Amino acid sequence: MENKLPHFSDIENAYVRICNLINKTPVLKSSTINSFFKNDFYFKCENFQKVGAFKFRGASNAVSLLSQEHLKNGVATHSSGNHAAALALAASSKGAKSYIVMPNNSPQIKKNAVKDYGAEIIFCEPTLKAREETLNEIVNKTGATFIHPYNNFNIICGQGTCAMEFLKEIPDLDYLFVPLGGGGLLSGSLISAKAINPKIKVIGCEPAGANDAYLSLKSGKFVASEKPKTIADGLLTSLGTITYEIIMNNIDDIFTASEGNIILAMRTIWERMKIIVEPSSAVPLACIIENFKNVEHKKIGIIISGGNVDLSKLPF
Amino acid sequence: MENKLPHFSDIENAYVRICNLINKTPVLKSSTINSFFKNDFYFKCENFQKVGAFKFRGASNAVSLLSQEHLKNGVATHSSGNHAAALALAASSKGAKSYIVMPNNSPQIKKNAVKDYGAEIIFCEPTLKAREETLNEIVNKTGATFIHPYNNFNIICGQGTCAMEFLKEIPDLDYLFVPLGGGGLLSGSLISAKAINPKIKVIGCEPAGANDAYLSLKSGKFVASEKPKTIADGLLTSLGTITYEIIMNNIDDIFTASEGNIILAMRTIWERMKIIVEPSSAVPLACIIENFKNVEHKKIGIIISGGNVDLSKLPF
């Protein structure tokens, strides 16, 4: 089956649809981080997005496109947290129900957020198989529309509005570093960034402990995420069919980072920039620390994907 | 001895002097915090100021006014940390030495910051008496110019530029809540805020465990801070002669907050706004939680004084 792939015009249309629903997030700089790592960094801060993560962009776009008839039965998804909160808020703001299948080991702060936005949570084991089975049961029982967290045309278009905003503000970036889990954010970022600045190099950033996309790229064929182990709880999942195709055809490279460097990068951002970022958001800077030792004086964009952290369980 | 007191024009002149040295910090909002506490809050984020605290405004102004001859021998001060880092950076950017007397119980992150900015640190016991004695020794030995952390005309003028920027951006605030330790920030804020918006009510915010200014206001005479005990390590000190006079003649009220509410407010700001604020910066919101239960629908400005926290020693 061939996937229908988004073009930049689809992302522009998504932006028109959601621009009054989302926060236009700031791009921050830090002279200390610039001098530490010898490049000129720009951080697009989706930790300041509604629900504390970029996921609200995609969810808003997907929900905005549903008919009244479909909204009546609600929406459903499986997610480790941020997509869940995003879909719950996008649905409740339209008066619709949402059913969220969550792994039982999700951070407490993410469980609370999803509940606060009015969703019904159904817990499952933390495997992709358990998520999908539980989700199917719910959809069959309720008639809710399944909104996949990343392998969905409209979700990818929504996520692409982040890089679009970013590149419209800073068009001459040499590099764009993007966290890579299921690939929704990276897919949308690739389409937007390459359309606005064809010379930009876009790098996907994975934890070494969840390096399935890295292995896929290097081997030239799909490798699934099996027993991933990383503090970056937003980056555990495998690529989907759509995100695999977009990423493999457009990506410049995929880097990985150790757990130690992820924690170091996270702490550096907290201490020096005074902003709260979740571990997944620290993976791009960690990848730069680990893989980019001889690159200097470049303009590097980093997408800070979210800021939802359980403050009782910090790694430092 | 009569104090020479700053006028708003002195603060305007300070702003011309330092505006190219400081960060123009953002004013942030949070719809969640607004709905929690039923007012319309504006947060002036000096945690994003250079050295992570408003103190850089005053230090820059004071150092900018020194002659080359005075700069040659350097500057000296005693401080629990943020003024120290600020003075060290202001001095080193002019190629001058700085000597900093610090209580030996200062947070490690503040000690490191002061060292990183090139200062020479001299440790002392954590009492005002020990600080002053040690400082006198250093000044006598080196000929350095003592820059008091708050009881200093030029420092107060520099700190006043924060409320000036804030009120120029949001002129119609009903209230301005300001953390209150030695009173430098509050004094400058009072002068700026009342000059720009004579109707504004300005509230000083103290930890209940360091409520010397509150006791001074209620008794009508100076009460010193003795054995203060609070997590808000920036608010331990007594008022000075200048700050006492400005505050007692201009303040609308002083509120206090319990340690529990300070920690609750700090955690709320971290979790909901995704920004890192130090405990002292959470005291205004804590005071609102504790004292402002029946006030609704007002425009309330809060100065977030700084974001320097030892991440290894969080209260949650």
**Chain A closest CA to B51's CA: distance in Å?**
9
Q: DSSP alpha helices (H): ranges in A82-238?
A: 82-92, 108-116, 128-142, 153-169, 184-196, 212-219
Residue B145, phi then psi, degrees to nearest 5: -85, 125
Best probe of the B interface among A274, A305, A312, by most B CBs < 10 A, is A274
Chain A contact set for B270 (CB, 8 A) = 276, 311
What local confidence, expressed as pLDDT, does residue A284 receive?
98
Tokens (6 digits) for B300: 């309330």
Cβ of B307 under 8 Å from any chain A Cβ? yes
The residue behind tokens 């980056």 is A235
Cα A187 to Cα A7, A184, A221, A280, distances in angstroms: 11, 5, 17, 17
Structural domains present in chain B:
8-53+155-313 (3.40.50.1100), 56-146 (3.40.50.1100)
Axis-axis angle for helices A82-92, A108-116 (nearest 10): 10
Does residue A143 sit at the B interface (CB-CB below 8 Å)? no
Per-residue pLDDT, averaged over A161-171, amounts to 98
**36-65 in chain A: CB under 8 A from chain B:** 47-48, 52
Yes or no: say if A97 and A74 are a contact pair by the CB < 8 Å rule: yes
Q: Report the gap between the CA of A81 and the closest CA in chain B (Å).
A: 15
Q: Is the pTM of this model over 0.80?
A: yes
pLDDT at A47 over 90: yes
Question: In the sheet that B40-45 helps form, which strands lie side by side, from edge to edge?
Answer: B27-28, B40-45, B299-304, B175-179, B201-207, B253-257
Kindly give, in sequence order, each residue whose CB lies less than 8 Å from that of residue B139, ignoring residues fewer than 6 positions away.
B76, B145, B146
Bridge partners of residue B253, in order along the sequence: B203
d(CA B89, CA B59): 9
Closest chain A CA to residue B311: A316
Task: Please tell me which residue in A30, A44, A50, A55 is annotated as part of the active site.
Answer: A55
Q: What is the pLDDT along chain B (316 residues), one digit of tens a residue?
A: 567 999 999 999 999 999 999 999 999 999 999 999 999 999 999 999 999 999 999 999 999 999 999 999 999 998 868 999 999 999 999 999 999 999 898 878 778 889 989 999 999 998 878 988 999 999 999 999 999 999 999 999 999 999 999 999 999 999 999 999 999 999 999 999 999 999 999 999 999 999 999 999 999 999 999 999 999 999 999 999 999 999 999 999 999 999 999 999 999 999 999 999 999 999 999 999 999 989 999 999 999 999 999 898 899 9
Q: Does A271 touch chain B (CB under 8 A)?
A: yes
Residues of A in contact with B275 (CB under 8 A): 274-276
Chain B nearest-CA residue for A28:
B48
Q: Using 50, 70 and 90 to split pLDDT, how confident is the model at A1? A: low
CA distance A175 to chain B (A): 25
Average of per-residue pLDDT values in chain A: 95
pLDDT tens per residue, range A276-305: 999 999 999 999 999 998 999 999 999 999
pLDDT at A108: 82
- pLDDT confidence of residue B1: 54
What are A190-202's pLDDT values in tens digits? 999 999 999 999 9
pLDDT number for residue A80: 67
- Residue of chain B whose Cα is closest to the Cα of A315: B312
Q: Where are the beta strands (DSSP E) in chain A?
A: 27-28, 40-45, 75-78, 98-103, 120-124, 145-146, 175-179, 201-207, 253-257, 299-304
Whether chain B has a CB inside 8 Å of the CB on A244: the answer is no
Q: Do B52 and A274 touch (CB under 8 A)?
A: yes
pLDDT tens for each residue of A62-112:
999 999 999 999 999 988 689 999 999 999 999 999 999 998 988 787 788
CA distance A191 to A5: 10
Q: What is the DSSP pairing of strand B98-103 with strand B75-78?
A: parallel
Q: How many CB pairs under 8 A join A and B?
A: 36
Mutation target to probe the A interface, by most A beta carbons within 10 A, among B47, B51, B111, B274 is B274
Q: Tokens 């808003």 sit at which residue?
A: A60
Would you tell me how many other CB atoms lie within 10 Å of the CB of residue A224?
12
Of residues B26, B48, B270, nearest to A276 (C-beta): B270
Give dist(CA B224, CA B143) in Å, integer.
29
Flag whether residue A109 sits within 8 Å of chain B, measured between CB atoms. Answer: yes
What pLDDT is recorded for position A81? 83
Q: Let me know if A55 is a catalytic residue.
A: yes
